[in-house]
Structure 1
């Protein structure tokens, strides 16, 4: 990539020239992966002096304007885009000598659909390199591409208000995300621990993004000692709305069932909790094990007993919640700040 992005005639010690980067995103700002791995990183790269254009290819004709715009670009990044027209566009861009990167932060197919997996594999193979959001995704990508770069999903710490943990109040256990996608994980993992927790002390269980899923209301609405506080939707693209939704949490919960799709998740929920100064109680699945430091920023759980013990330990100790939350906030800023990841991507493009 370096020969296309560096000026060979620049004198030694001269600052590296600014790059023009074209980003083809899967969704708009209200889609979490595009907001986090596209818009946020693009804005950080702009702050570093680069020119970044964002494109959406929701219609076939938009691929023509994409190819026209790409003529002036040094690099083109496809964020989780691997449909047949994406493959064709990437192929043409490679023929034109462009640096093409494929960014992925999820398993290519939730249902293991053969055609979808094949397209994703082809996109990895024909790109100049793959940006993988987790170690598991990096291992997957290396089956099809030699140039694989670990680039975890990042966080904007300034978007989150740090929790002040105080003893003697009703504890709020919180979860944020797409309840329609995670209802099975929430119910199968948390229903029994919350029943046992509610029998010991009154708690509030707050779900942000319940999406009106009736199974969630039925599963948790009648647990003795547990008051539910479910919010079906918020304005996801508004950082203030997200911070307001998380603010009542005392402990951030991240249950994931151990199945193939979840093994490739990139632990963004855990990062949001950590940036908010919250201890995290999470399943020992996927990138959770890379992001959450057990007994330092939270607890990693496998069994229902693990969940009960973790919640009980944190519920009775505001000082411990505060210490874990501070450790998590520091870790999120040190390792997952979007500004640092943008610098990492800049190095990848210049390498």
Structure 2
């Protein structure tokens, strides 16, 4: 039904400070623990405020995919609707120049609330970072049609959005580099080599793709598989026999610290699942942002982010995974070389600072 939510109330609406900025922008986001908000709406709003624009952050409460156990699932969903009605009143009173919709308001097939916002605002931007249309195709079609502009996290999402709206821009999921310090170079004597993965517990099963290579490598090298996720339950179904591994519970405030302890990052994805094709490569970008070399499946946008042998490695077969990881395990200079180029890639193409102008261009375009 959904995840349990924290009962801590940090306010569903956070008005920006008064300023003489050019625009008033309302961000309808999913919650500060939801990746689409954490890596798109919130850092963009922060940068826009610094530039003098007036931004209001309106969060789902409880957060979009959460519920309060003490209140119950259905009452929690009703509370979300009440909070969004309050945001609707706010939108009508303040007459924002732009309203940015993070994916959708509710994780269900309904569109009635979004239609109310459409009638109340001057310009509506739909921001999409995942294949939400695979769950609710009719809903996505309606949202894309009613939006003045769709911002897609990659070209695969953009192609789908253009089926319903010709005003589509690709702006990748970005990293706020100020939050990701560059990792210190290895001294060559560190052991074991930590091969790390970070993500949602629902995606832990993807590690089965690389597990055979890790089992082989563990016979020849001192390695440790480090898994950072919200739950360890999916690990029971992985065959990691002979692979030393450590599970670390995910905490948002500590995730960068955990990534900095890795020597190598992993992003395996199955090629035969539709959902993975539309992912925006977030964990890959997180590794690269701190200067980590990563090995990833060439699925979806991963094949565009990673330039094989220059800023990371791409691998499909067990042999390819084994060879790529082995090359990095034994060669600290190679890890440094690829990691340095990886961070340079993020800085030049996938940082919030670089892509902010593209958001402004979309926000300031005249509505048709």
TM-score between both structures, scaled by the size of structure 1: 0.86
Within-5 A mapping of 1:49-128: 49-58=52-61, 59-71=80-92, 72-81=95-104, 83=106, 87-96=111-120, 98-108=122-132, 112-113=134-135, 116-128=136-148
Among residues 29, 34, 53, which one is paired with 2:37 in the alignment? Answer: 34
Q: In structure 2, how many angstroms separate the alpha carbons of the residues matched to 1:22 and 1:86?
A: 21
Match of 1:146 in 2: 166
Deviations 1:173-228 (A, max 9, x none): 001111x21122112x0210101111221201101116121x415635532xx321
**Which structure 2 residue ranges, 5 or more long, are not aligned?**
1-19, 62-79
Q: What CA RMSD, in Å, does the superposition of the two structures yield over aligned residues?
A: 2.0
Within-5 A mapping of 1:118-267: 118-163=138-183, 164-169=185-190, 170-178=192-200, 180-187=201-208, 189-209=209-229, 211-213=231-233, 215-217=234-236, 219=238, 221-223=240-242, 226-234=243-251, 236=252, 238=253, 241-258=254-271, 259-267=273-281
Q: In structure 2, how many angstroms separate the alpha carbons of the residues matched to 1:264 and 1:279?
A: 23
Using the TM superposition, give the Cα deviation of residue 347 of structure 1 relative to its aligned residue in structure 2, in angstroms: 1.3
| Structure 1 pair 197–271 and aligned structure 2 pair: CA distance change class (3 A) | same
Using the TM superposition, give the Cα deviation of residue 77 of structure 1 relative to its aligned residue in structure 2, in angstroms: 0.8
Using the TM superposition, give the Cα deviation of residue 103 of structure 1 relative to its aligned residue in structure 2, in angstroms: 0.7
Deviations 1:210-248 (A, max 9, x none): 6121x415635532xx321211232x1x2xx12211121
For the 8 Å contact 1:60–1:85, the answer to whether it is kept is: no
TM-score between both structures, scaled by the size of structure 2: 0.83
Using the TM superposition, give the Cα deviation of residue 31 of structure 1 relative to its aligned residue in structure 2, in angstroms: 1.6
Match of 1:24 in 2: 28
Q: Does 1:278 align with 2:292?
A: yes
Match of 1:12 in 2: none
Q: In structure 2, how many angstroms separate the alpha carbons of the residues matched to 1:323 and 1:39?
A: 32
For the 8 Å contact 1:90–1:100, the answer to whether it is kept is: no
Among residues 345, 349, 359, which one is paired with 1:345 in the alignment? Answer: 359
Q: Describe the SS at the equivalent of 1:200.
A: coil
Match of 2:341 in 1: 327
Deviations 1:247-287 (A, max 9, x none): 21011110111110000000011111111110110001011
Using the TM superposition, give the Cα deviation of residue 343 of structure 1 relative to its aligned residue in structure 2, in angstroms: 2.1
**Which structure 1 residue ranges, 5 or more long, are not aligned?**
1-15
